[in-house]
Chains A and B, each alone.
Chain A
Amino acid sequence: MIQLQGKGVSKGVTSGPVYFFRRSDATVTKVENADPAAEKARLAEAQEKSIEQLNRLADKCREEAGEEAAVLFETHAMFVEDEDYVECIMDTMESEGCNAEFAVQTAGEQFAAMFAAMEDAYMRARAADIRDVTTRILNNLMGVIEGGIDSEVPVVLAADDLAPSETLQLDKSKILGFMTQGGSGNSHTAILARTMGIPAICGLGEQLQPAMEGSVAYVDGETGTVTLDPDEPTLAAFEAKRKKQQEMKLLMQTMKGQQDVTLDGREMMVYCNIGSPDDLSAVLNNDGRGIGLFRSEFLYLKASDFPTEDAQFEAYKAVAAGMKGKRVVIRTLDIGADKQVAYFDMKKEENPALGVRAIRICLNRPEIFRTQLRALYRASAFGKVAIMFPMITSVWEVRECKRFCAEVMAELDREGIAYNPKTEIGIMIETPASIFVADALAKEVDFFSVGTNDLTQYTLACDRQANDLGRFFDPHHPAVLRALKIATDAAHAAGIWIGICGELGADLSLLETFLAIGIDELSVSPSSVLPLRAAIRKSTARTCTLEKLDC
């Protein structure tokens, strides 16, 4: 048995023969004293062929992956004919007397560099498109047949990494899953695999060797493990997982488009937790009714310096607009404790979980807070944004946050920038203090959302990072559940809604307790939406009891 460990970037299990993606790595060489007329004719032919291929890809994509991806290829087709790009190729051919290949490559590099140097993140990302188009023209010039899969049976496709057009031109009926040496959860391969619902593992590195071609690989896109020649227990576990997956698939199909309502008519809002705009497709694919927690940390954790207002705005706007009017709760910066960022230059703390973290950083460093709030309010013009403050313990903190919001709105008014003045403001309920003063807090805000991991940690005095606390760290502890009840009663008395955005929300064994307590919203990872919906639809809220709150 051989096992390779990578990063699972698209869930699901599958098995099949390994097939290595074949990419011609024909290198471009410069030929001088070429015949300009002949080279121009070759270029024209390659352009025509490229445009044909791209339009075909766009059609295919429209059926398989949706309109947005299709437009990408239509734009690529226009790039092929772009006046300046073509002029640059022609100029190079004429001035250097060289072959079309060299001229195309030169122009491609020049234009990709131009986009790569732009300020706007969206435009910078277009450099990859230019390179992709350039490669296509080059392939057509050199007569390279692009990597179809030369296999009669479906395969697990292995590669170093795949470009967007490479991924899409593959015959999908022949692919069971992807495994790549490089790439990340945000790479095109991963995103497309998720869109297509195929398992994918990236970052396998050198362990993934061409010699494995033909062996049967057992791929688990959840754990990121690839197994060759499995022993019996491993195989049995794999098959059990596959069976479960098939049952889930059937369940998923019946649950899409269904209401999140119990047998006796109690509605629950089933929302999703996401960590970046890339997760939006998973929310839509799983029919999430909103986003209950958009963690803004990714913007800070990925960057090497404070993210700008514009960069943040783009990310928030993408999600707000993508959800088309459904609620998107964005949590303001929640770093400190287990999430550290070098450029924040935080003092080392003896006890970081009880230290300067989350809202405390924001209130101490207004310039950081104001930048984020401006980006959030600007994004509120593009969808139903709600702003949520983490780690609240006191009413004065909430009032101070609201004062910041009012100031930011006044600034935007002065600058004539659009925003939604009715943007909902909510707080995380994750400290015992916020439970004890929940009635007062509820009067200040539009909603509560319970972070069960931190609430458990602070209520039970158990460090959530410590591995050896085991049975002492118990999110089902009656103290935690009673805290939920107190917060819910306070929220309802003030006429506001309350949700759970911690991992506990997806814990189906507590669903009846949540219904009995009166929780209005559960925000879970996108893949948990449909199973949760199925459980809600089988429940009867009226008969649910608070017995788990008893000791």
Chain B
Amino acid sequence: MTKFDYTIKDPIGIHARPAGNLAKLAKSFADAVVTLTKGDMTVKASQLMKVMSMGIKCGDQITVGVEGGDEAGVADAVRKFFEENL
């Protein structure tokens, strides 16, 4: 499992639009599973409603995990997504 931490910079936090795009991105990796962890709660990035229901706000630190497939490559792509959108 490859992991990285990220602090949300978007003023509204992970709201509907980026959550939707993140879910789309996560689903595009055939054999890798992307997870988000905040506190003691972990969900798959592809679980749109669950991700939104975590209520991740601006300034919150989350941990992104990638399991399986080209872990480093997928982690880079996801990190890029966060930096550009959140």
B55 A82 Cβ-Cβ under 8 A: no
Report B17-40 CB contacts with A as 1/0, cut-off 8 Å.
101100110000000000000000
The reply to whether the CB of A71 lies closer than 8 angstroms to some CB of chain B is: yes
The 11 sampled A-B contact pairs (Cβ below 8 Å) are A71-B16, A72-B16, A74-B20, A84-B47, A84-B49, A84-B50, A114-B53, A115-B52, A115-B53, A321-B11, A382-B11
Shortest C-beta distance, B27 to chain A (Å), equals 9
Most buried by B among A74, A78, A114, A118: A78
Which residues of A393-428 are within 8 A (CB) of B?
A: 417
Check B48–A123 contact: CB distance below 8 A: no
A78 and B24 within 8 A (CB): yes
A78 touches B55 (CB 8 A): no
CB closest chain-B residue, reference A382 = B11
Using a CB–CB cutoff of 8 Å, the interface residues on chain B facing chain A are 11-13, 15-17, 19-20, 23-24, 44, 46-50, 52-53, 55, 57, 59
Q: CA of A129 to CA of B20 in the docked complex: distance in angstroms?
A: 14
Within 44-73 of A, Cβ neighbours of B (below 8 Å) are at 71-72
Q: A119-B55, A123-B55, A317-B11 are in contact. Are A111 and B49 (CB under 8 A)?
A: yes
The listed residue with most A CB atoms (<10 A of its CB), out of B11, B50, B59, is B11
Task: Out of A74, A79, A317, A321, name the residue touching B49 (CB < 8 Å).
Answer: A79
The answer, yes or no, to whether A83 is at the interface (CB within 8 Å) is: yes
User: CA separation between A79 and B53, bound complex, in Å?
Assistant: 13
A417 to B58, CA, bound (A): 11
Residues of A within 8 A of B (CB): 71-72, 74-75, 78-79, 82-85, 111, 114-115, 118-120, 122-123, 126, 129-130, 317, 321, 381-382, 417
Complex Cα–Cα for A84 and B23 (A):
12
Establish whether residues B11 and A83, one from each chain, have CB atoms under 8 Å apart when the complex forms: no
State the CA gap A114–B54 with chains docked (Å).
Answer: 11
Residues on the B chain within 8 Å of A82, using CB: 23, 47-49
- B46 shortest CB reach to chain A, Å: 6
Cα A317 to Cα B15 with chains together (Å)? 15
A120 and B11 within 8 A (CB): no
Minimum Cβ distance to chain A for residue B59 (Å):
8
Please tell me which one of the listed residues B12, B20, B50 contacts residue A75 in the complex, with CB atoms under 8 A apart: B20
Q: A75-B17, A78-B23, A83-B44 are in contact. Are A118 and B55 (CB under 8 A)?
A: yes
